[in-house]
Structure 1
């Protein structure tokens, strides 16, 4: 009787856990000590919507524990501003004017605003469950279902070889209904000992594509406190 030289396909016990995959990502991108040495971030670059021929400049600021501000400017779409002082998450656009985010939309944005969210994932998500192997662009990926404290579960794809995050699938319930978002981070480069994604391709509802590219990422810089102050238009909404 011939003996099989292949390992059994029933290797449930040897499957990685969601925790292990996320910790491998932290290690692959620099490790806990490198992340812990970072306290704020400034990024500048561009945003493009190829199908509509729209190009814009962007700049974003973030600071621990959970403050953020970003501005996108384009002749075609005007100025889009959003941010949080750590409590209120707001947005001002040419189309919708000033508004305060609430519910799942606020929860998702506040998770994104959490500085060093990669390192602090256990504070943001209730569970991280291994969801099997998948492929992306011909490469094997380990997938993890992350269930946040508030909002819908997200599926994260990690390259099985490099352990880098290569895709996120999420659905957010907004005032306009449920919006499915696919995010494809890439072009990882080292900054202050941590690998950062310099590009992010986002696809909304399987149709609208947006490409974000960072030209420069800096950590531990002087950011004026005024950057994170809630704008007067938003304060007026809060007082109604």
Structure 2
């Protein structure tokens, strides 16, 4: 999703531990680096051009999306909605029959999550730093002020598709790997780490089925893999209208953790 960086893996650790299916884990497979790899900035810019251009990508950093959430291996499926508003407001809501509601968001001050397994949480410390630095406006387009460095390191494969692997070093010192399609230029996958109450975990995100939705080109199907689990997010509609303030109001249980209503 390139309307706003969506970080649904915020709730993946809880589901992974609670459901515990044994699934084959996919991985981004790197090969030996070629002698003449493209510059990392060239690869990022080609991806942005494929989406409509850097300015167009930054101009559409808000709006609302709907879709569905699936864990086929355990027969789970639910609805997904997200809303974001420039510069930093966002909320994600997933509802799964038999499991409940899974939510996360940021109102410009409080970064939070809530699910049936962990309850309401306010994210602080390095967990907060990693989340915010990788979901900023500049991070979306890998601007120099948002990342410490970009380096093309190898020719690799994601789901059988050739891609150029780019190491991203973030201001916190955290690292992630992006892989850009040799054929189309689109970002095919990212491997990063996320902090959770269960510690630091590696997350693989695969971006698929790029197409236009509501006038915006985006990956409409995202696979996320963590701890042997595979979860699928499918985006079906996009409305660029800026969401109203009430979409970002903290849930009462989260408000209680802040010491008062917001």
The TM-score normalised by the length of structure 2 is 0.79
* Structure 1 unaligned blocks of 5 or more: 1-9
Partner of 2:18: none
Partner of 1:78: 100
Partner of 1:6: none
Structure with the bigger percentage of strand: 1
In structure 2, distance between residues paired with 1:111 and 1:201 = 22
Q: Contact 1:35 / 1:116 at 8 angstroms: preserved in 2?
A: no
Partner of 1:217: 238
Q: Contact 1:40 / 1:115 at 8 angstroms: preserved in 2?
A: no
| Corresponding position: 1:65 with 2:65 | no
Partner of 1:3: none
The TM-score normalised by the length of structure 1 is 0.86
Q: Contact 1:34 / 1:193 at 8 angstroms: preserved in 2?
A: no
Within 5 A, what are the aligned runs for 1:128-139? 128-139=150-161
Q: Contact 1:104 / 1:174 at 8 angstroms: preserved in 2?
A: no
1:110 Cα deviation after fit: 2.3
In structure 2, distance between residues paired with 1:183 and 1:44 = 19
1:200 Cα deviation after fit: 0.2
* Structure 2 unaligned blocks of 5 or more: 1-32
In structure 2, distance between residues paired with 1:11 and 1:113 = 31
Q: Contact 1:139 / 1:159 at 8 angstroms: preserved in 2?
A: yes
Q: Contact 1:155 / 1:169 at 8 angstroms: preserved in 2?
A: yes
Pick from 219, 225, 234 the counterpart of residue 197 of structure 1: 219
In structure 1, distance between residues paired with 2:138 and 2:243 = 17
Within 5 A, what are the aligned runs for 1:1-240? 12=35, 14-111=36-133, 113-115=135-137, 117-119=139-141, 121-150=143-172, 152-191=174-213, 194-205=216-227, 207-219=228-240, 221-239=241-259
Partner of 1:4: none
* Coordinate RMSD, CA, aligned: 2.2
Q: Contact 1:48 / 1:211 at 8 angstroms: preserved in 2?
A: yes
Partner of 2:28: none
Structure with max Cα Rg: 1
Aligned residues: 228
1:120 Cα deviation after fit: 5.3
Q: Contact 1:141 / 1:159 at 8 angstroms: preserved in 2?
A: yes
